[in-house]
Chains A and B, each alone.
Chain A
Amino acid sequence: MAADVKVAAISGYFAQGFGQSIVAGLNKAKDDFGVEVKLIDTGNRALDYEEQFNNVAKDGEYDLVFVMGWELVDALTKAAEAYPDQRFIFIDGVLDSDKIVYADFSEEEGSFVTGAFASLMAAKGSAIDGLGDGKSIGFVGGRDIPVIRNFLRGYEQGAKAAAPDVAVDAVFAGTFDDPAKGSELTMALYGEGNDIVYNVAGPTGEGVLQASAAADKYSIGVDIDQCDVAPGHVMASMLKRGDIAVYSLIKDEVEGRTVKPGTYSFDLKSGGVELLMCPQTIDMVPEDVKSKVSELRDAVINGDIKITE
């Protein structure tokens, strides 16, 4: 059974951060289960996408087809209609179609832990280099859209649960593509005493991280390991583990738990989201902060803490 499983992945981002982690998950599944893996790079021509989906799906050769990238949504939806027996797995989002498998990350859970960590650190105040009075922490979102609100919700509730006195100061850049704007907003947040800023803003967020180095303050990365963007200033990264999502879906399939259309959530419990404390700064994190963060994380996993809508 196992050796017969064949999977394909379609994306234009295999060379970039999140895409690389998906490739890593596929390769691990190949090593562990002997599944056949095919990568299809979509390139950048919109005209090609439909044809590429057709080519992958036409013979029903692949058990699972992973799809990553919002520009492919149109072609994916059409292909899901045209090939109802083909299971497509859309990574990192949920669409309208009920014929598609969705690998969704519980960003609110990861952000809850992130908020707890940031507020606890801020509450330490000037006991830690570069921190001030610790009354509030910052958040820079890309655009004010539901998915980003979801991040913010977790972040706020985490902060509140860990250090009730610390407020959250949130701003939205209005764009995901403007690092300069991210940098500008971050500087403003630092000016108002928010010494740690969490970015959920794609390329705009690069500006957030760079501003933390320029201002000698702190920031938190998102999606992938961003510790190296501004070493010593990025305290942590909230990871969405594409590799774990891909690997665990393939594992289900290989072990006979057939993957079916619907939403698969990847949360703290499954390791799909997690907070990575950056190695460059981990020594300055007090033990009590570490244990408190870990305690809150376990509470979310156990269901003792529910993140509210």
Chain B
Amino acid sequence: MSETLRPVIGQAIAIFIALALGTVVIMVVGESPILVFATLLEGAFGSTERIAGTLLQTTPILVCGIAACISFRGGLFNIGVEGQLFMGGFAAVIVGIYLPLPAGLHMLVGILVAMLAGMAWIAIPAFFRARYNANEVVSTILSNYVAVLLTSYFTIFLFKRPGGWSETAPILPSAYLPELFSFSRLNWGLIIGLALAVAVQLYFRHTSRGYSVSIMGQNLKFAEYGGVDIKRHIFLVLLASGAVGGLAGGIEALGVHHRFMEGFAPGFGFDGVIAALLANGNPIGTIGAALFFGALRSGSLLLEVDTNASREIITVIQALIILSVSAQILMRRRGDSTAAERRWKF
């Protein structure tokens, strides 16, 4: 029990430290921390609509977080979720515009194509990681920039809606991911995300392949020794992670924006990765972490209107959380490895 509780307490302390530092920052810029935090809470949870707004922000962070979790479980770091989201979103929109199909089916095909696009986008880094052991952190990070710029280029030069802003034409209504309530754009994406989190958790716990991947993530040499085909599993894990990244884009495209534009969903991939880190690669924990970041985002929008504090304060607080969480994780890792080394390295 204490073994599972320890990281949770660690993360809680990390967040607490970050919030404490954030308080100092707020005071330094001359705002009242109480007012800022109260406004954040009000903005995130103040009414049914606001809660829906928070969940709307939570959804892409959650799905991206699950994508990151999948790679973390295999001991891999897909930091390219952002790029997979953009590619997935763009692909879903193209299907939504140009491939008329019956309602429902159209949406499902759009979601599927989004996942394939995310998968395709990670395929090259995944191949080089599996085959040549090329560091996936670097290659996936770099692929983000390419994806964001490439989709932007396609949008402006090939698929731009006549007149107006840099955006594509709207998708056909048959491809819409249905909304959950009349008063919000919150849609079935949230349900998909929650179900996926549970499914991924169960998968890693209860299937043979999930077990093999988990063990590979924790001790690659042991998994290799035990007969797990390492290269194959590395490749598959990254593909699965990329597919879920693409799914996040598909949900945003078909559920929220109904088109692709510049500024489609920037930052959600990165927030998802952080949420997954915060949750230690546990998809269920990622739900909580994603909600936390979603609430910060949605609360910060009210902050801008109701106080004189800038939304950037939230960016600062988020950065502080990232810092203290990663410091905390690093310290724990170090503790573990020295304990392991002590037995054999004298």
Contacts and interface: CB of A to CB of B under 8 A. Distances in A.
Asked if A and B form a direct contact in the complex, defined as CB atoms under 8 angstroms apart, the reply is yes
Interface of A: 8, 38, 40-41, 43-48, 50-52, 54-56, 70-71, 73, 145, 175, 177
Given A52-B305, A55-B304, 9 more contacts: A8-B305, A40-B304, A44-B262, A46-B265, A52-B301, A55-B306, A71-B165, A71-B262, A73-B164
Nearest to B153: A177
Contacts of A43: 311
16 contacts: A41-B311, A44-B263, A45-B263, A45-B265, A46-B263, A46-B264, A51-B301, A52-B301, A54-B49, A55-B302, A55-B306, A70-B165, A71-B165, A71-B167, A73-B164, A145-B163
A71 B166 CA distance: 8
B53 A51 contact: yes
A55 B305 contact: yes
Contacts of A51: 53, 298, 301
Nearest to A177: B156
Interface of B: 43, 49, 53, 56-57, 60, 156-157, 162-167, 185, 252, 256-257, 261-267, 297-298, 301-302, 304-306, 310-311
A51 B252 CA distance: 16
A50 B265 contact: no
Contacts of A54: 49, 53
B4 to A, nearest CB: 34
Contacts of B298: 51
Contacts of A40: 304-305
A218 to B, nearest CB: 30
A40 B56 CA distance: 21
Nearest to A62: B305
B165 A175 contact: no
Contacts of B156: 175, 177
B261 A46 contact: yes
B304 A52 contact: yes
B261 A71 contact: yes
Contacts of B267: 45
B185 to A, nearest CB: 7
A145 B311 CA distance: 36
A45 B297 CA distance: 11
Given A71-B165, A175-B157, A47 B57 contact: yes
A70 B262 CA distance: 11
A144 B263 CA distance: 25
Nearest to A82: B183
A43 B262 CA distance: 12
A170 B267 CA distance: 41
Contact of B252 (A47, A55, A177): A47
A87 B53 CA distance: 24
B53 A41 contact: no
A46 B167 CA distance: 11
Contacts of A56: 305
Given A40-B304, A55-B305, A175-B156, A45 B266 contact: yes
A6 to B, nearest CB: 12
B298 to A, nearest CB: 7
A145 B263 CA distance: 23
A86 B307 CA distance: 21
Contacts of B261: 46, 71
A55 B263 CA distance: 20
B1 to A, nearest CB: 39
Contacts of B164: 70, 73
Nearest to B301: A51
Nearest to A55: B305
Given A43-B311, A145-B163, A175-B157, A50 B305 contact: no
Contacts of B43: 55
A277 to B, nearest CB: 33
A43 B179 CA distance: 25
